Structure 1
Amino acid sequence: MNIVVVGPGSIGTLWAYKLKQAGHKVSIQSRVDGDTLSLTINDQRPVTLPNNHLRQIADADLILVTLKAWQVSSALNQIRSHIAPEAMILLLHNGMGTAESVSQVFSSNPILLGTTTHGAFQPQKHHSKHVGLGQTLIGAHNHQALQCGFIADVLNHALPECIWQNNIQSALWNKLATNCAINPLTALHNIRNGALSEMQYQETLDQIVLEVSQVMACEGFAVAQQALRQQVDSVIEKTAENYSSMQQDIFYQRPTEIDFISGYLLNCARKHSIETPANQKLYTAIKQIENIGSCS
């Protein structure tokens, strides 16, 4: 397949490298100048891929978007006129809320959504360390994408395990719940994920999860609060030595995905007239830090 990976960060580099290894024609869309980019994962030999080639975009069967949520609309709008109306667009990022605006702009394209638990970070640009095997779930956002289940097999061949979900929204909400619990707290306190197992954070985590479960139920994704809390605790344990993406963004004074994580939850809560004070407090605190950083 002809595949364009938009955003060669840690996950984007991982997918681009694995898809190239699997025999696909892969190119990169990035903010880096130059006709090519050399990518590598772990200690494997680098692969050199075309970079910012408009012809590659026009020929793409799949546009794999692995940017931060707040970058998605702007990046796709820049190449909008070159994307064929039948090209599949797969959004693979933390948080929720980008699909609505993307599907309005690309109304004829199959829009797919995904979430992954693969662990990766970049010790240097275009070099990803794959530090944890995970699972990728993808599914359809619009009617056109309902016939694209075969893409799960394509991606699974390159980087297992990838599974098609008939109800991807349920998986995204469960991931959002985990992100709401872990990301803002670790960012505010500048701690690794595992530190959230300490007693001082338990009451806050309980309240966050309670509020998320209430919103999920009103959105049609009923889940037991205890099960959701166990899910959060499991991720904290499995990623104990990791820093969350939001902690890293705050640490390096970069914009965060808070508007697409806690912010998305708050918007849904207001729609259903649900009070979410714990999540609101975290959202406000992160926004204040972002605003201070943008003024410095």
Structure 2
Amino acid sequence: MNFAIVGPGAIGSLWASYLIQAGHHVCLWSRNSSPHISIQRDECPAIQFHNGHTEQLAQADVVLVTLKAPQVQHVLESIAPHIDKDAILLLMHNGMGTAKATQTLFPNNPLLLATTTHGAYRPSSTQVLHTGQGQTLIGAVNQKGTQCEFLVEVLNHALPQVHWQHQINQALWNKVAINCAINPLTALHQIRNGELAAVHYRSQLDSITTEVALVMQAEGIDADAQHLRKTVNDVIEATANNYSSMEQDIAHQRPSEIDFITGHLIKTARTHGIDVPVNEQLYHAIKQIEQSW
């Protein structure tokens, strides 16, 4: 198949490498103006990818969007004229809240959402490290998307494990819950994920997950505060040496995904009349840092 990877950061570069290795045609679309981009995964030989070619973008069967959530709408608006009306759009990023705008922009395209637990790190612009095995869950947003379950087999052949989710919102909310707990705290204190296991973060993490569980339940999503809290602990332990994406964004003075993680939680809570004071405090603390730049 023809794949276009829009936003080849760590996860996008990881998928580009595995997809081309599996025999697919892969082109990139990035802010890098070079017509070719080299990507080396771990110890594998470096691979040259075409970049920014509108004619290749137009031929894509699947457009895999691995941009950060705040960039999705702007970038997709700029490339919309070059995307075929039958191309499958697959959004894979932290947070929630980009699907509605994407569906408005591409009303006739199959639209899928994905979440992945694979670990990836880019030590340089031409190298990506696969730092942790995980799984990828995908599901449909619209009716045409429900006809694309075959994509699971295609993606699973390239980078397993991939599973179809009939209720993709459940998986996305579970990921948001984890991100609400880990990302703002690690960003504010500029610490690795594992340091959140310290006793003095316990009460704050309890409150964050309790608030998220209330919002999830109001949305009709299966959620239990204690189970969410245990999941957060498991992720803290499993990724103890990692820096969260938000920690890295704040450390490098880049806009974070706070509006699409904690911000999405707060917006959803308001529609149900639910107070989420601990999450609101963290949200405003991150926004204050960003605005100080």
Shared fold by TM > 0.5? Answer: yes
Q: Tell me which amino acid in the other structure corresponds to 1:168.
A: I
Number of the residue aligned with 1:203: 203
Number of the residue aligned with 2:127: 127
Number of the residue aligned with 2:185: 185
Q: Given that residues 118 and 136 in structure 1 are in contact (C-alpha distance below 8 angstroms), is that contact kept between their aligned partners in structure 2? A: yes
Alpha-carbon distance between aligned partners in 1 of 2:43 and 2:292, rounded to the nearest angstrom: 39
Alpha-carbon distance between aligned partners in 1 of 2:210 and 2:222, rounded to the nearest angstrom: 12
Number of the residue aligned with 2:18: 18
Alpha-carbon distance between aligned partners in 2 of 1:243 and 1:48, rounded to the nearest angstrom: 29
Cα displacement (A) at 1:8: 1.1
* 2:133 maps to 1:137: no
Structure 1 counterpart SS, 2:85: coil
* RMSD (Å) for aligned C-alpha atoms: 0.6
Superposed counterparts of 1:108-127, under 5 Å? 108-127=108-127
Superposed CA offset, 1:203-230 (max 9, x none): 0000000000000000011311111111
Q: Given that residues 183 and 245 in structure 2 are in contact (C-alpha distance below 8 angstroms), is that contact kept between their aligned partners in structure 1? A: yes
Alpha-carbon distance between aligned partners in 2 of 1:228 and 1:249, rounded to the nearest angstrom: 25
Structure 2 counterpart SS, 1:241: coil
Cα displacement (A) at 1:36: 1.2
Number of the residue aligned with 2:70: 70
Q: Tell me which amino acid in the other structure corresponds to 2:188.
A: L
Superposed counterparts of 1:213-292, under 5 Å? 213-292=213-292
Cα displacement (A) at 1:34: 2.1
Alpha-carbon distance between aligned partners in 2 of 1:197 and 1:38, rounded to the nearest angstrom: 38
Alpha-carbon distance between aligned partners in 1 of 2:126 and 2:18, rounded to the nearest angstrom: 13
**TM score, norm. by length of structure 1:** 0.98
Q: Given that residues 70 and 257 in structure 2 are in contact (C-alpha distance below 8 angstroms), is that contact kept between their aligned partners in structure 1? A: yes
Superposed CA offset, 1:171-199 (max 9, x none): 00000000000000000011100011111
Number of the residue aligned with 1:82: 82
Superposed CA offset, 1:46-78 (max 9, x none): 111111111111111000000100011111111
Cα displacement (A) at 1:126: 2.7
Q: Given that residues 186 and 244 in structure 1 are in contact (C-alpha distance below 8 angstroms), is that contact kept between their aligned partners in structure 2? A: yes
Number of the residue aligned with 2:33: 33
Alpha-carbon distance between aligned partners in 2 of 1:279 and 1:34, rounded to the nearest angstrom: 41
Q: Given that residues 87 and 109 in structure 1 are in contact (C-alpha distance below 8 angstroms), is that contact kept between their aligned partners in structure 2? A: yes
Superposed CA offset, 1:90-148 (max 9, x none): 00000000011000110000110000000011100031111100100001011110000
**TM score, norm. by length of structure 2:** 0.99
The runs of at least 4 consecutive aligned structure 1 residues that moved more than 6 Å come to none
Unaligned regions of 5+ residues in structure 1, if any? none
* 2:181 maps to 1:148: no
Q: Tell me which amino acid in the other structure corresponds to 1:283.
A: Y
Q: Given that residues 64 and 91 in structure 1 are in contact (C-alpha distance below 8 angstroms), is that contact kept between their aligned partners in structure 2? A: yes
Count of aligned positions = 293
Alpha-carbon distance between aligned partners in 2 of 1:253 and 1:138, rounded to the nearest angstrom: 31
Q: Given that residues 86 and 108 in structure 1 are in contact (C-alpha distance below 8 angstroms), is that contact kept between their aligned partners in structure 2? A: yes
Q: Tell me which amino acid in the other structure corresponds to 1:192.
A: R
Number of the residue aligned with 1:9: 9
Superposed CA offset, 1:144-164 (max 9, x none): 100000111111100011111
Q: Given that residues 170 and 222 in structure 2 are in contact (C-alpha distance below 8 angstroms), is that contact kept between their aligned partners in structure 1? A: no
Structure 2 counterpart SS, 1:274: coil
Structure 1 counterpart SS, 2:181: helix
